[in-house]
Amino acid sequence: MRGVRAAADALWIYGGGPDSAIYKTTDGGTTWKKLTKGLPYENGGRNRAHWSGLYRRDPNIVYAIVQHEKGGTYRSEDKGETWKKMGDTNPRPSYYSQIRIDPNNDLRIWELGAPMFYSEDGGKTFSTQRVRGIHGDYHAMWIDPADSNHMLTGSDGGIHWSYDAGKTWDFVNTIAIGQFYEVALDNEKP
């Protein structure tokens, strides 16, 4: 299970299988409630739901990417009790599964994938033209709460930063990092 804590409440994802859903606890995990209202699996059916984002200024607002035949981007304004489908965008949630909400605008969201998806209307429409010219496969993003123009992103191509809300990016080439996709071992010495 993957989870994110919001004040005393927490939402958790159980992805894959007949009990796949978003679950909520308000008592530190003693009891869990399956959230279904407005989600495509409220009447049953197999799906994968992935936790996505919590709006810093109002923890009532959360987003989720739901992988389902009727999946896409969903938004809740009551801590996940009810959901509204915003659009069909669904950038491989079982792999990327993250939304970043601008800390100063709950309608400006980023869905990490390959490429990066950017929305100014809460996920009704997305553009893939905002983040260009750097390596794709985005797995991490941070937006400065004091200045939404200042952003960092981590991808298969390294770390990049922007000071103009993602219109242009600079490669952080001062950190010795590498990516291993697959590692094989044997029992030989050394």
Domains and CATH numbers, the chain: 2-171 (2.130.10.10)
Q: CA-CA distance, 167 to 58, in Å (whole number)?
A: 27
The pTM of this model reads: 0.82
Q: What is the enclosing helix (H) or strand (E) of 43?
A: none
Place of tokens 């970043």: 100
Q: CA-CA distance, 85 to 165, in Å (whole number)?
A: 26
Q: CA-CA distance, 185 to 164, in Å (whole number)?
A: 44
pLDDT digits (tens, 9 = 90+) for 7-59: 456 666 666 666 777 888 888 888 888 888 998 876 554 555 555 678 989 98
Nearest to 141 by CA among 64, 53, 22: 53
Q: CA-CA distance, 119 to 109, in Å (whole number)?
A: 5
pLDDT digits (tens, 9 = 90+) for 98-148: 889 999 999 999 998 888 999 999 999 999 999 888 887 888 899 999 999
- Show the tokens assigned to 42: 């409220």
